[in-house]
Structure 1
Amino acid sequence: MVDVEDERRGFMRASWVNVLGNVVKIVVEGAAGLAFGSVALVADAAHSLADLVASVVVLIWGRSSYDEPDDTHPHGHDRIEPLTALFVGAVIALLGLLLLSESVQGLVEQDPPDANLLLLGALAFAIVDMYLVYRYTTLVNEDVNSTALRALAADCLNDIYTSFAAVVGVAGVWFGQPILDPLAGALVSLLVVYQGVEIGRENVDYLTGAAPDPEKRMTIIETLRTHPEVRGVHDLTVFYDGTVLEVEVHVEVDGDMPFRQAHDIESDLVERLRELENVGDAHVHLDPSGIGEWKDCPDNR
């Protein structure tokens, strides 16, 4: 089990790796593109410049999600992380649209670069660079489970795709088919837009307190029902508070049991719910069984 401080350190390391990886890629591709007049490489370097901005935002904002609750944020800072991921998703989608525009312009006004092996070398370096950053980010995120890092990892894949598209364009120049550059760029641009929209949609759910899937609700109900003292479960509300789930529920128990025993049962139920994957906090209200204090809820049982 990874504690919060270890998660923070892992998050910071992965964020810094993304920042430095993008800086190196920008320098190598930008220099080669400007030296040999490759629009594809300059565009890919510009793409990484926006990625660098997104990485810096994740580095600065995202670490705040690990701060303890305080007077201004009594429920913690969990929603900062999906906010940063939403920003990354928006940047990715915007970049995809810009790349698509450049690809369409390239189809109309073809201006191929000089054929030079250094262009392919710079692209090969960029692909390896982003792949290593992607692997490290996903490896760290297996323990951290951060939506912001997941968005950065997806952006690393986008960088790899766009670099491969640039390879196709440069190779097209060698073989007398310069139109391959804008065609490949257009296809990759659509993929980039799609990923940006998907990242944004997922994190909008986290920010707006959306409900989880029905399977998660059933898991929560069964977890409560398996307790030997529970007679019924009703008025269950489950929603996202940031990237974790908040659970509010009424549970029926024997109304004649001692108060201390009822308190122990409530504490045990809360602990069971908090042990479930993605559940951050739980609020359990005990009702005496048989009084019929149920709302019109399909989960009542």
Structure 2
Amino acid sequence: MATDGDGTGRRGFVRASWVNVLGNAVKIVVEGAAGVVFGSVALLADAAHSIADLIASLVVLVWGRSSYAEPDDTHPHGHARIEPLTALFVGSVIALLGLNLLYESAQGILYGVEVEFSPLLFGALAFSIVDMYLVYRYTTLINEALGSTALEALAVDCLNDIYTSVAAAVGILGVLLGWPLLDPIAGGFVSLLVVYQGVEIGRENVGYLIGAAASPEKRTEIVEALRDHPDVEGVHDLTVFYDGTVLEVEVHVEVDGDMPFRQAHDIESELVDRLRDLEEVGDAHVHLDPSGIGEWKESVDD
């Protein structure tokens, strides 16, 4: 997640969350009304799907913005892990909704569906697709600067809403053409996609929550950033792990053991700043060792 600084990040997060809440609320009203009037199970199911999306959006709004809170006595390292926890909740909701849609699709294939066709059904679905696309575009636009996994999960959910609405439209077209079985078949394909995306969101954010290690490429980038400093003679005992959605770096760096203490302090500060400037790195802890004494646990540059 991007640092908040003057609170701009938190305000953007809250605005995007509110847009998702309102977008889902409007979609529920439009599709639910059309589904009730014309007996469309597809639209009612899509509206019910959006009720869970609305709940997820409210959770992100109320809970996720806490990740921007400053460190305090009870959370000295800040609240960064609240965001992946929120995203994990959204991913779980998406996966469960996908499984429910898959069940409903199987029921429709086995027992058939009954829908009274009306052009207004297409109108309601077209409105829902445009509504969710606009919410998706706004959410991704805001999130370009924030890098929020919670907002990313909401954006994925917006795309899922578009897919389910398209599937419902295919089903209604099938009713118009005399092939009502198209509705549950299309819904089945979409539900599998929804389950997959929900699982992927959950898998990514579990890694953030349990402090997963950085990739080998990121470790190499960190070592190179350290060794590029002219006073660094070696790097060892490097640990890079996720603290929430950002990386924390702990490393020992070898320098000339005879340099003045003040100079060593300045070098340490420069190295910490170098690491913090790297993408994804949130904080860094650098310990300076005199070169050549061989006390480290790991080999040089490991």
Q: TM-score, normalised by structure 1?
A: 0.98
Runs of 4+ in 1 over 6 A off after TM superposition: none
Q: Is the partner of 1:233 in helix, strand or coil?
A: strand
Q: Equivalents in 2 of 1:118, 1:34: separation in Å?
A: 12
Q: Are residues 2 and 65 of structure 1, via their aligned partners in 2, closer, same or farther at CA, if it must alter by over 3 Å?
A: closer
Residues 213 and 240 in structure 2, CA contact (< 8 A), matched pair in contact too: yes
Aligned 1:211-226 pairs, distance under 5 A: 211-226=213-228
Residues 2 and 143 in structure 1, CA contact (< 8 A), matched pair in contact too: no
Matched, 1:116 2:118: yes
How much has 1:112 moved relative to structure 2?
A: 2.2
Aligned length: 300
Residues 231 and 252 in structure 1, CA contact (< 8 A), matched pair in contact too: yes
Q: Deviations over 1:122-147 (max 9, x none)?
A: 00000000000000000000011100
How much has 1:85 moved relative to structure 2?
A: 0.1
2:53 corresponds to which residue?
Answer: 51
Provide the aligned C-alpha RMSD in A: 1.1
Picking from 140, 146, 149, the partner of 2:148 is 146
Matched, 1:129 2:128: no
| AA of the residue aligned to 1:54 | A
1:263 corresponds to which residue?
Answer: 265
Q: Equivalents in 1 of 2:104, 2:299: separation in Å?
A: 53
Q: Equivalents in 2 of 1:89, 1:3: separation in Å?
A: 25
Q: Equivalents in 2 of 1:20, 1:298: separation in Å?
A: 54
| AA of the residue aligned to 1:198 | E
Structure 1 unaligned regions, length at least 5: none
Q: Deviations over 1:133-168 (max 9, x none)?
A: 000000000011100000000000000000000000
How much has 1:3 moved relative to structure 2?
A: 4.4
How much has 1:110 moved relative to structure 2?
A: 1.0
1:208 corresponds to which residue?
Answer: 210
1:16 corresponds to which residue?
Answer: 18
Q: Equivalents in 1 of 2:135, 2:67: separation in Å?
A: 22
| AA of the residue aligned to 2:130 | V
Residues 78 and 242 in structure 1, CA contact (< 8 A), matched pair in contact too: yes
Residues 246 and 280 in structure 1, CA contact (< 8 A), matched pair in contact too: yes
How much has 1:294 moved relative to structure 2?
A: 2.0
Q: Equivalents in 2 of 1:298, 1:26: separation in Å?
A: 59
Aligned 1:132-281 pairs, distance under 5 A: 132-281=134-283
| AA of the residue aligned to 2:59 | V
Q: Equivalents in 1 of 2:104, 2:255: separation in Å?
A: 65
Q: Is the partner of 1:257 in helix, strand or coil?
A: coil
Q: Deviations over 1:218-271 (max 9, x none)?
A: 000000000000000000000000000000000000000000000000000001
1:85 corresponds to which residue?
Answer: 87
Residues 170 and 182 in structure 2, CA contact (< 8 A), matched pair in contact too: yes
How much has 1:65 moved relative to structure 2?
A: 0.2
Q: Equivalents in 1 of 2:165, 2:301: separation in Å?
A: 50
Q: Equivalents in 1 of 2:270, 2:231: separation in Å?
A: 11
Q: Equivalents in 1 of 2:224, 2:106: separation in Å?
A: 54
Q: Equivalents in 2 of 1:249, 1:9: separation in Å?
A: 34
| AA of the residue aligned to 2:174 | G
| AA of the residue aligned to 1:239 | F
Q: Is the partner of 1:196 in helix, strand or coil?
A: helix
| AA of the residue aligned to 1:219 | E
Q: Equivalents in 1 of 2:4, 2:44: separation in Å?
A: 42
Q: TM-score, normalised by structure 2?
A: 0.98
Q: Is the partner of 2:230 in helix, strand or coil?
A: coil
Q: Is the partner of 1:252 in helix, strand or coil?
A: strand
Q: Is the partner of 2:115 in helix, strand or coil?
A: coil
Q: Is the partner of 2:248 in helix, strand or coil?
A: strand
Q: Are residues 50 and 113 of structure 1, via their aligned partners in 2, closer, same or farther at CA, if it must alter by over 3 Å?
A: same
Q: Equivalents in 2 of 1:237, 1:296: separation in Å?
A: 11
Q: Deviations over 1:19-60 (max 9, x none)?
A: 000000000000000100000000000000000000000000
Aligned 1:55-74 pairs, distance under 5 A: 55-74=57-76
